[in-house]
Amino acid sequence: MFIISSKWQVASNKSTTTADSASLKRLVLLLLLVTCNLLFAPAARAVLTIEITQSYDGGMPIAIVPFKWDGPAKQAPQDIAGIIESDLLRSGRFNAVPKTNFVSQPHEHKDVVFKDWRISKAEALVIGTLRQIAPGRYIVEFRLYDVFKETQLSGYMYIVEEDSLRRVAHQISDLIYEKLTGEPGAFNTRIAYVVKEGAGKAIKYKLQVADSDGYDAITILTSPEPILSPAWSPDGTRLAYVSLEHRRSTIYIQSVATGDRVKVAEHKGLNGAPAWSPDGSRLALTLSRDGNPEIYVLRLADNSLERLTNHPAIDTEPAWSPDGRQIVFTSDRAGRPNIYRINADGGKVERITVDGEYNARASYSADGTMLALVSAKGGRFHTAVMHLKGSVLQLLTDTSLDESPSFAPNGRIILYATSVQGRGVLASVSSDGRVRQILKSQDGDIREPAWSPFNRQLQPKE
């Protein structure tokens, strides 16, 4: 480790001094895997592009100066500042100060004039450089300032391979977010989703994993039949999903890194809606082996099954509370789909949603205070949140065919699938409804997004 100043520390994937070795090993492993995948599948790195459809100007104004590029190529391999800016804007808690308002463009600490940034009406300032030190090897430096207090809030340096530049940018976004909001960021995470490509007999379904902003997608499964309901294991290493590849529903668990998979449910009838318990030891799922869809809990250690619900209506889409003690699910036992709750060891069923024509597919925020769900009004299906305290249901979107809402692990953004001009796209909305974005794909229908837990943070300590 080499320290530039007392505020600067090094976080390198070659160093073991700044983060615990377990997470470093994981990162190195992931780096290797990403590299391998890119070798074998040199497909587009940017599968999804983000378009902001509703912005909010009440966030904290932050100025992010384009990073200085220092290297032999004319252009920097990645626009680090651009990645950070789009991450922060996506959260709905920041506003970017327009570059036309910049009085100066500092890259180094000595060039920062705080008065310039007060004139630009910035409350926070980010500067940095990207320097190539060897072929394919870079140093990324950044500093975050409080413009009013005229102090540096954070500053780090990373030595990385080209493949990790975007990841470092997301990690810087997380550090800035946490410093300025007091809550962890969730930008250095991944999303899983399903892409449907082609038509007629040539239809292909792909289960893909990408960075949280849609970049660096890898395909972990390709099938001629539909794939549904990918769900991340709490440690972020595996996905459970439903595959119709045998022309009936089957649940698999697949390692994201190795691609190895095991079949965990192939009972008569429906096998659907897998949901991991927070400790990763159990899967809640839907089986209709006893005649109609009921919620079961599968213990992964011994494959034992416990039936939780018992009702002739449809019971499906289970999701665990963060403490693992309760499970919410969708049931039409009162005529229309609504959200219900049951203890994870069974017992009395309690209805959670009261209003609305159709409430389904609920999942908890990490703090357990909110549910994200699909709620219909006037025949239009919106992404909504239910604030459990006070039972307030809030519709967040104006799209009409929303599905599969999934919270970012910090609870601030909800990712969902919707339809725009007849095409399946992923979209995100801040959980206060202020900021909406659409992740546009180059081709195919995209659906069934699932946000990974926190799992790949390389945490430099200050």
Distance CA 340, CA 318 (A): 9
Distance CA 340, CA 360 (A): 10
Question: 73, 74, 422, 461: which one contacts another protein (CB under 8 A)?
Answer: 422
**Site stretch for another protein (CB under 8 A), options 73-81, 137-145, 253-261, 306-314:** 306-314
Closest CA to 75 of 130, 143, 152: 130
How near is the Cβ of 422 to another protein at its closest, in Å? 6
Q: Does 336 bind another protein (CB under 8 A)?
A: yes
**Site stretch for another protein (CB under 8 A), options 50-58, 173-181, 270-278, 297-305:** 270-278
Report the SS3 class of residue 381: strand
Question: 26, 107, 361, 456: which one contacts another protein (CB under 8 A)?
Answer: 361
Question: 92, 128, 185, 293: which one contacts another protein (CB under 8 A)?
Answer: 293
How near is the Cβ of 401 to another protein at its closest, in Å? 6
**Site stretch for another protein (CB under 8 A), options 56-64, 160-168, 185-193, 358-366:** 358-366
Cβ distance to another protein smaller for residue 121 or 423: 423
Q: Provide the pairing of β-strand 338-343 with 370-377.
A: unpaired
Total of chain residues touching another protein, rule CB under 8 A = 41
Q: Does 327 bind another protein (CB under 8 A)?
A: no
Q: Which H/E stretch holds residue 169?
A: helix 165-181
The contacts of residue 199 (CB under 8 Å, 6+ apart) are none
The neighbour count for residue 30, using CB atoms within 10 Å, is 21
Q: Does 313 bind another protein (CB under 8 A)?
A: yes
- Token output for 271: 């096998």
Distance CA 23, CA 188 (A): 13
How near is the Cβ of 331 to another protein at its closest, in Å? 9
Placement of tokens 């109609």 in the chain: 292
DSSP states of 15-44: -SSSS-HHHHHHHHHHHHHHHHHHHH----
Question: 146, 162, 197, 403: which one contacts another protein (CB under 8 A)?
Answer: 403
**Binding residues vs another protein (CB under 8 A):** 226, 228-229, 242, 244, 247-249, 269-270, 272-273, 286, 288, 292-293, 312-314, 316-317, 330, 332-333, 335-337, 358, 360-361, 374, 376, 379, 381, 401, 403-404, 419, 422, 447-448
